[in-house]
């Protein structure tokens, strides 16, 4: 039921090496200059500023050129001018790409946790706010959709999947939600199996219909190094055992497939 299609998962810390999506990993101590001309078919890397020391400023969107304009050095970033209902300053939020839309959810304002959903249209460079509409579960009861930070957003088709995060009040087990970018409705996924403990600062990546979760920090501040998988078809969690000579407990890590 659970398969990786011979894909291998690679775990690593965020710091150490920078990654150039066009030329592979590189050392930050030895930058090289390259000329690059991006086309509309090449991947776009987009992010929203999440530094807590930027809270006095509006969030800015930094990205590689979207329209194939050439830069003398492909390692440069350009600040885009965006319109619309821009997100308030925040950190520990999450973002994911679905088509030409970037969905941003939650985070910490510095004073309180956030539960707003923002969508940036990369075609128009315009921000839109989405009302937090929650679908009633099949059992007829409404599950509370809480503000959170340190969560993960993973794209899947026309939806994004929200996994975990620190919320108030906290829960015992990790929760999974989906956001439909067409209906703009959040839905709670009724998971079963060996559900991982609640956490934040973890990492999640998708391998086909399976999510892979690693690490994080639990509600008591304990660093974690456990590995889990979540089958999106059966909505079942399963712990994974792995062998490693030395593996520290990790928070705020990064997980990718290759």
Tell me, what's the pLDDT at 189? 94
- The values of phi and psi at residue 143, to 5°, are -85, 135
- DSSP string for 156-203: ETTEEEEE--EESS--SB--EEEEETTTTEEEE---EESPPBPEES-E
Answer whether 0.75 is exceeded by the pTM. Answer: no
- CA pseudo-torsion sign 163, 165, 169, 173: positive
- Rounded to a whole number of angstroms, the distance between the first and last alpha carbons of the chain is 21
Tell me, what's the pLDDT at 185? 95
Which of 53-65 are b and which e, b meaning 16 or more Cβ less than 10 Å from the residue's Cβ? Answer: eebeeebebebbb
Which of 144-161 are b and which e, b meaning 16 or more Cβ less than 10 Å from the residue's Cβ? Answer: ebbbbbbbbbbbeeebbb
What is the spatial distance between Cα 1 and Cα 152, in angstroms, rounded to a whole number?
24
For the chain (length 258 residues), average pLDDT per consecutive 10?
A: 43 39 42 39 40 43 50 71 96 96 97 96 95 78 86 97 94 96 95 97 95 94 94 97 66 62
Tokens of 33: 């200059």
Domain layout of the chain by residue ranges = 44-257
Correct CATH for 44-257 of 1.10.150.170, 3.40.190.150, 3.40.50.10070, 2.120.10.80: 2.120.10.80
Percent share of the chain, pLDDT over 70: 64
What is the spatial distance between Cα 82 and Cα 118, in angstroms, rounded to a whole number?
13
């Amino acid at each position: 039921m659970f398969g990786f299609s011979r894909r291998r998962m690679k775990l690593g810390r965020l710091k150490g090496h920078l990654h150039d999506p066009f030329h592979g990993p590189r050392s930050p101590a030895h930058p090289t200059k390259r000329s690059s001309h991006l086309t509309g078919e090449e991947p776009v890397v987009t992010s929203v500023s999440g530094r807590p020391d930027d809270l006095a400023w509006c969030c800015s969107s930094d990205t590689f050129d979207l329209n194939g304009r050439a830069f003398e050095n492909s390692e440069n970033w350009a600040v885009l001018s965006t319109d619309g209902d821009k997100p308030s300053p925040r950190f520990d939020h999450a973002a994911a790409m679905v088509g030409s839309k970037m969905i941003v959810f939650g985070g910490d304002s510095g004073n309180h946790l956030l539960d707003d959903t923002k969508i940036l249209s990369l075609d128009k460079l315009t921000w839109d706010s989405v009302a937090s509409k929650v679908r009633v579960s099949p059992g007829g009861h409404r599950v509370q959709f809480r503000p959170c930070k340190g969560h993960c957003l993973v794209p899947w088709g026309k939806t994004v999947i929200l996994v975990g995060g620190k919320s108030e009040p906290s829960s015992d087990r990790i929760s999974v939600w989906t956001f439909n970018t067409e209906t703009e409705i959040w839905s709670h996924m009724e998971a079963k199996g060996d559900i991982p403990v609640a956490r934040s600062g973890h990492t999640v990546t998708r391998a086909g219909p399976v999510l892979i979760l690693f690490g994080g920090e639990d509600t008591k501040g304990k660093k974690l190094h456990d590995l889990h998988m979540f089958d999106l078809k059966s909505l079942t969690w399963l712990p994974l055992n792995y062998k490693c000579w030395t593996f520290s407990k990790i928070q705020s890590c990064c997980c990718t497939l290759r």
